DNA sequence: TATTGTTATACTCTATAACTATA
DNA sequence: TATAGTTATAGAGTATAACAATA
């Protein structure tokens, strides 16, 4: 299962990056934006947990996204050590494009499969993600 | 689905790398060895398709594995442009350890799930992998 | 002419540890 | 003392294009 998992991840990520080549974003950028696409602000460590990278790695990615005006780093009310990552208006637009491309890829790839099969796959992915927490 | 896919991939890969830290292998090394573990020799491009990386990327990974005596690059009978990648005896042993750790992680993570659920997940992964071929 | 694999280059990702500011 | 995030460093992954050898 794990080998197939890696294969599917590579394939979908490459397909997405190719499709969104005009946006000039790295796979990590896509991942971060897609996670932020729901509009909920997040701290760096929370976003790191969501995208699966460490804060130290995220710093560089966020630097790039901030420089391009897609996110802002704001003070976190209540804990001045924390940083609140939020999409700008332009970032929200870009993130929506990323999500749309993801949804479209998913729709195209999984069109023939019944809902129970999709639900089962989500359960397996969740189990693998939680395995070592 | 795609975000969950990436999350699961990150989580399992980090867990595996941590568990096999004594082998001092990178995630890409693990992936290559796990794919070669069945003992079937492969060309560089074939292995690249299996692990999801391009030949140019694979060159560096194979250099490292060859330097450490885990694989050999042999002439391909019938096409002298091709290179046949094969595990050495030591490589086969290491690859077996990698596979064992993968199987164990899978067993532990997916213990509670019925076979139909696992089969459904494999179908979804295959569909995502094939989406853009 | 096309294909296999390698090389070269430039950029990105990653882990780790040290550091600052805050709790 | 512990935590949030950044910085610094070194190694690894990646895409792309150019190249030699072979088909």
The pLDDT tens digits for A29-78 are 999 999 999 999 999 999 999 999 999 999 999 999 999 999 999 999 99
pLDDT at residue B84, as a whole number: 97
Q: What is the CA angle B120-B125-B127, rounded to 5?
A: 95
Provide the whole-model pTM. 0.91
Both tokens of residue B119? 């089969």
Which residue matches tokens 């999409």?
A: A87
* Chain A residues lying within 8 Å of B116, measured CB to CB: 120
Nearest nt (C1') from A32 Cα: C13
The least confident of B8-12, B28-32, B115-119 is: B8-12
pLDDT at residue B130, as a whole number: 85
Mean predicted lDDT score pLDDT of chain B: 94
How far apart are the C-alpha atoms of A53 and A45, rounded to whole Å? 9
Nearest to B52 among A6, A105, A131 (CB): A6
pLDDT at residue B18, as a whole number: 87
pLDDT at residue A131, as a whole number: 72
Quick check: A18 pLDDT over 90?
no
Pick among A109, A111, A113, A114 to test the B interface (most B CBs inside 10 A): A109
* Chain A residues lying within 8 Å of B11, measured CB to CB: 52, 128-132
Kindly state the average pLDDT of the residues B88-116: 96
Chains A–B, number of C-beta pairs less than 8 Å apart: 164
Quick check: A133 pLDDT over 70?
no
pLDDT at residue A73, as a whole number: 97
pLDDT at residue A130, as a whole number: 85
Quick check: B133 pLDDT over 70?
no
Q: Residue A71 phi/psi, 5° resolution?
A: -135, 165
Looking at the complex, report in whole angstroms how far the Cα of residue B93 sits from the nearest Cα belonging to chain A: 19
pLDDT at residue B132, as a whole number: 61
Give pLDDT tens digits for A77-131.
999 999 999 999 999 999 999 999 999 999 999 999 999 999 999 999 999 998 7
Nearest nt (C1') from A45 Cα: D4
Q: Residue A17 phi/psi, 5° resolution?
A: -60, -40
Which protein residue's Cα is closest to nucleotide C16 at C1'?
A56
* Chain B residues lying within 8 Å of A118, measured CB to CB: 1, 124
């Amino acid at each position: 299962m794990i080998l197939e998992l890696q294969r599917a991840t590579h394939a979908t990520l490459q397909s997405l990056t190719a499709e969104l080549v005009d946006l000039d974003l790295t796979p990590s950028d896509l991942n971060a934006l897609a996670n932020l696409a729901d509009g909920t602000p997040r701290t760096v460590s929370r976003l790191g947990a969501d995208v699966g990278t460490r804060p130290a790695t995220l710093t560089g990615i966020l630097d790039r996204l901030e420089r391009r005006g897609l996110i802002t780093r704001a003070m976190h009310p209540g804990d001045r050590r924390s940083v609140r990552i939020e999409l700008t208006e332009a970032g929200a637009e870009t993130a929506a494009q990323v999500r749309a491309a993801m949804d479209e890829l998913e729709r195209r790839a999984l069109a023939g499969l019944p809902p129970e099969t999709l639900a089962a796959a989500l359960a397996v992915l969740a189990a693998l993600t939680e395995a070592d927490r």
